[in-house]
Chains A and B, each alone.
Chain A
Amino acid sequence: MARRGFRVERLPGSAAIAMLTFVLLYVPIVILVVFSFNAGASQAQWEGFSLEWYAAAFGNRQVQEVSIRSLWLAAVAAGIATVLAVFAALGTTRVGRFPGQTLIYALINQPLMVPEIVTGIALLILVAAVKVQTGYTGMGYLVLAHTAFCIPFAYLPVRARLETLDPALEAAAADLYAGPFQAFRHVTLPLLVPGIVAGFMLGFVISLDTVVITEFVKSAGQDTLPTYMLGQLRRTTTPEMNAIATLFLLLSVLIVTAFFILTRVRGR
């Protein structure tokens, strides 16, 4: 492992651009966090430190409900979508051409190609008819709609990861373990983990951002954070929103830290 003057991380300027990217990513976030502690309602002028917007957010039952609902929905939809996407990726990647493959690709990627407003309207018509027929108005519709929307986002990274795997590894594993399921369990699956994590995270983010579809599919009392905010778009947003965003951020940092420590402990 002796280095001979070349270190791959020194691809020209990559570190500098990466740092610039990280700065760009975090400047708006820092502003957001700072102004969530602003004493005044303005998001442009600093008027002193205060926790009043946090108090307001915690005092606002609706904000709490929609936040929790958003997180729950994102976790469930992204989770289901990732599992389905892994199966689909295994069924379509490195398997040679088979009849109907193009159709499968088209179906999987289809939610990506349609603007949300179209899917939203289409789902509204369909879902409303089902609601009237069955009387069921639970969260199932939102889970289904979000899952469908997350599948392509979960599928692509898993597939990209799978394509770069060396088939020889699995062939060797198949020889050793003598069963396709064991080979999958002990070789393919662990190697797929980065793709699966990336897929789940993408799905989670996409679900958190899905506004229009939720708006049209939701039943009474099923506002999510994005639809709640969309309803406020016509009116001025208050730093209360910044406070909620900061809390979301804190939550994600906690999850990230936990995940990080866990993977460290497992020695990866």
Chain B
Amino acid sequence: MKQTMGLALAAVLGTGAAAQAEGVLNLYNWGNYTSPELLEKFTAETGIKVTVTDYDSNDTALARIRQGGHGFDIVVPSDTYVPTYIAEGLVVPLDDAIVTDRDNILEQFRDVPFDPGREYSVPWQWGTTGVVVNTSVYNGDRNTADIVFKPPPELSGKINVIPEMSDVMAIAVYYHGGERCTDDPEILRAVRDTLMAAKPHWLALDYGTVDAYIAGDFAAGIYWNGASMRARLGNPDIAYGYPATGFPIWMDNAMVLADAPNPENAMRFINFILRPENAALISNFARYANGIEGSEQFMDEVMRDAPELTIPDELKDAGRWGVVCPQEVTDMHTQIWTELLQ
């Protein structure tokens, strides 16, 4: 009833702007994350015109989707948020008749804890959060969080940490042997003390800093693997490390929204990005791995065997999928984080 009234009103207003016509798709994705080449190819193949709208955080995206009335067809949340989308009925299961190529997903990503059996989602890109270090300044072991938490003197004052509470807290909690969402006061106390003691050594907590690593303004820090790779391409001394005590693995996943105006087009797009040559376009643009078998051969030369994109076998076990912590634990993390940045 409300829907009908709404439609009637929209017709009166003459601007039912959320395009519902055939041949349209509204993609809601992270900023600077969607390869224009990929979209052009999709349009050329199917005649469907794609509009991309950006968001800057999982929380913004979830808040927008939850409130409804958004007009988006596809959203690309991180693994930790996928179960919430599913549990709250914000997304629909993938249509087996259209999404036929799920076998292209690399085996390790086919049955993931956040979406068992890949009923709702397909990989967009995945990566890790680890440490980055300029080897011309410090050339010791770099597979350790000590680089940031107990930095050697030559790195002190040249460290940048990404201002991502969840990533930093995760690495710090793993560093003290805790589970991701532990509420063990002893561990959290140790986490707080470690962070407070480490902060005087940090120069900044900043995001887009590839340039600063290349220029040598920063000599170490916590960073994402793809960004670290781009820094190395500008400065060969930059190297990426996987903290042996534990580091987060993350994956952004494409899903079709329950109130999508163009669900069929969305399903076709989902199947489109499962093809290795298309998935490679995503990676070539945003510089992260994509989780689709056989896509490497279509990737740019520099990405094919980049150390940043391949976790060494001996450290594979240290990589952990994220989980969303209960509110009490998040509150404690926020409290530590606020104290750290006061």
* Identity of the chain B residue whose Cβ is nearest the Cβ of A233 in the assembled complex: B207
**Is B56 interfacial (CB-CB < 8 Å)?**
yes
Residue with the highest number of chain A CB atoms closer than 10 Å, among B18, B36, B209: B18
**Is A231 interfacial (CB-CB < 8 Å)?**
yes
Q: From DSSP, what is the main secondary structure of chain B's interface residues?
A: mixed
Encoded as 1 (CB less than 8 Å from any A CB) or 0, chain B from 207 to 231 comes to: 1111100110000000000010010
Cβ-defined partner of A131 (8 Å) among B28, B68, B215? B68
**Is B236 interfacial (CB-CB < 8 Å)?**
no
**Is A93 interfacial (CB-CB < 8 Å)?**
no
**Is B31 interfacial (CB-CB < 8 Å)?**
yes
**Is A132 interfacial (CB-CB < 8 Å)?**
yes
**Is B67 interfacial (CB-CB < 8 Å)?**
yes
Task: Kindly list chain A residues whose C-beta atoms are within 8 Å of the C-beta of B28.
Answer: 220
Stretch from A21-29, A40-48, A104-112, A199-207 contacting the other chain: A40-48
Which residues of B in the span 1-24 have a Cβ within 8 Å of any Cβ on A? 2-3, 5-7, 9-10, 13, 15-19
* Identity of the chain A residue whose Cβ is nearest the Cβ of B69 in the assembled complex: A131
Task: Kindly list chain B residues whose C-beta atoms are within 8 Å of the C-beta of A153.
Answer: none
Q: Is the CB of B64 within 8 A of A136?
A: no
**Is B53 interfacial (CB-CB < 8 Å)?**
yes
Bound complex: CA A174 to CA B214 (Å) = 69
Task: Kindly list chain B residues whose C-beta atoms are within 8 Å of the C-beta of A216.
Answer: 60, 63-64
Bound complex: CA A249 to CA B69 (Å) = 36
Task: Kindly list chain B residues whose C-beta atoms are within 8 Å of the C-beta of A237.
Answer: 208
Cβ-defined partner of B18 (8 Å) among A121, A137, A236? A137
Q: Is the CB of A235 within 8 A of B31?
A: yes
Number of A-B contacts (CB under 8 A): 144
Cβ-defined partner of B71 (8 Å) among A134, A137, A140? A137
Which residues of B in the span 41-93 have a Cβ within 8 Å of any Cβ on A? 51-56, 60, 63-64, 67-72
CB<8 Å pairs between A and B, sample of 27: A42-B214, A42-B234, A44-B211, A60-B36, A61-B36, A62-B36, A124-B64, A124-B67, A135-B6, A135-B9, A135-B69, A136-B9, A136-B16, A137-B70, A215-B55, A215-B60, A219-B17, A220-B18, A220-B51, A221-B71, A223-B54, A231-B55, A233-B31, A235-B286, A236-B211, A236-B230, A237-B208
List 3 tightest A-B contacts by C-beta distance, closest first. A231-B31, A131-B69, A128-B67
| Chain A residues close to B by CB (< 8 Å) | 41-45, 60-62, 121, 124-125, 127-140, 215-216, 218-223, 227-237
Taking A227-B54, A237-B208 as known contacts, 17 extra A-B pairs with beta carbons closer than 8 A to each other, sorted by chain A number, are A42-B214, A132-B6, A134-B9, A215-B55, A219-B70, A220-B71, A221-B52, A223-B53, A228-B31, A231-B30, A231-B33, A234-B56, A235-B208, A235-B286, A236-B208, A236-B211, A236-B230
